Amino acid sequence: MASSMCATTPLSLSSSLRTNLSSSRTSRAPLISLRVSPIFQALSFKSVRTNFKNPISASASASARMAGQNKKIEKFETEEEVAVRLAKYTADLSAKFVKERGAFTVVLSGGSLIDALRKLAEAPYKDSVDWSKWHVFWVDERVVKRDHVDSNYKLALDGFLSKVPIPPGQVYAINDALSAEGAADDYETCLKHLVQRNVIATSKTTGFPKFDLMLLGMGPDGHLASLFPGHPLVNEKNKWVTCIKDSPKPPPERITFTFPVINSAAYNAMVVTGEGKASAVCTALGKSQHSETLPAQLLSAEDELTWFLDKSAASNL
């Protein structure tokens, strides 16, 4: 599958978008030509409390409490059942937003989430979903080349995107020719142009971009996107996209959506499988006496947040 990128050479852009992008191009943000980008795999690692001293803010904790108002938890016996349910859930939301908005904006993460999407590339969804209306983004990305083994773009391309007919110009990746700061600024500029064109909706509540669906995963430490326990970026309130240069997991440089953007999504799906994440699931869902607030506890959504768990991940609940 060919792909487009937020980079230096326009690929498969409509003439109207190419005009809009070039007219407001900044010195720091090259012309956005939409391409998919690298992946953020969920790797286990020790507690980062010793690495970062910044506590999660009270306002972030308040956001987490609000999440309970529209949170669902779905438990399944096996990972296979999770994948079957996730495919139907995603296909149903695709049909809903295509009917309502004429587009479906989907944000992917890395790691095991991509494999969990495999049923979407099979019957009946491969032929019934209106892939031409999909616009695909990443909640975070490692600052590596798109063909690098650590790339979230490569993971998604190999495991999902190459198997479904999403138009290449509607797959948006980071510009892998830029620094971490430059790539974050460039990606935010990309999103702002798409908001201006109403490809991405705007939250009437927060004013941040309102993606239709984010498909997320969680690490064993309770991190999501590249927002790690105790790291100051968890408390970022203004930027849409930012960069991290001291990730406790390699590679150290990444870009990530911030919580105001993540929690402004209409629907957020947190997909967690495996016994290795059972403790973090228990803490994130408020079933533990653990005193530390994990990033996953701060996850919410404007319309609905759903946790998809297999038996192993839910074993401590």
pLDDT of residue 69: 56
Mean pLDDT of 75-79: 97
Query: From CA 187, how far away is CA 172, in angstroms rounded?
Result: 9
Q: Is the pTM higher than 0.85? A: no
**Per-residue pLDDT at 16 exceeds 90:** no
β pairing state of 104-108 and 254-257:
unpaired
Domain assignment of residue 18, yes or no: no
More confident residue, 56 or 270: 270
Task: Give the chain's end-to-end CA distance (angstroms, integer).
Answer: 41
Domain assignment of residue 119, yes or no: yes
Q: Which amino acid is at 288?
A: S
pLDDT of residue 291: 65
CATH of the domain at 263: 3.40.50.1360
Pick from 227, 194, 225: which is nearest to 211 by CA?
194
pLDDT per residue over 150-184, tens digit each?
999 999 999 999 999 999 999 999 999 999 999 99
Query: From CA 211, how far away is CA 209, in angstroms rounded?
Result: 6
Average pLDDT, the chain: 83
pLDDT of residue 6: 59
Domain assignment of residue 266, yes or no: yes
**Per-residue pLDDT at 12 exceeds 80:** no
Domain assignment of residue 210, yes or no: yes
Which residue range is the domain that position 87 belongs to? Answer: 2-7+36-310
State the DSSP H helix or E strand holding residue 127, giving kind and residue range, or none if neither.
helix 125-128
Share of the chain above pLDDT 90, in %: 75
pLDDT of residue 22: 36
Domain assignment of residue 315, yes or no: no
pLDDT of residue 31: 33
What is the DSSP annotation of 228-266? -TT-GGGG--S-SEEEES--SSSSS-EEEE-HHHHTTSS
pLDDT of residue 36: 37
**Other C-beta atoms lying within 10 Å of the C-beta of residue 250:** 10
The domain total for the chain is 1
Domain assignment of residue 19, yes or no: no
More confident residue, 197 or 293: 197
Please, which residues bridge with residue 267 across strands?
Answer: 213, 304
Pick from 19, 35, 44, 18: which is nearest to 250 by CA?
44
**Per-residue pLDDT at 65 exceeds 90:** no
pLDDT per residue over 107-118, tens digit each?
999 999 999 999
Domain assignment of residue 24, yes or no: no
Domain assignment of residue 83, yes or no: yes
pLDDT per residue over 204-260, tens digit each?
999 999 999 999 999 999 999 999 999 999 999 999 999 999 999 999 999 999 999
Confidence of residue 286 (pLDDT cuts 50, 70, 90): confident
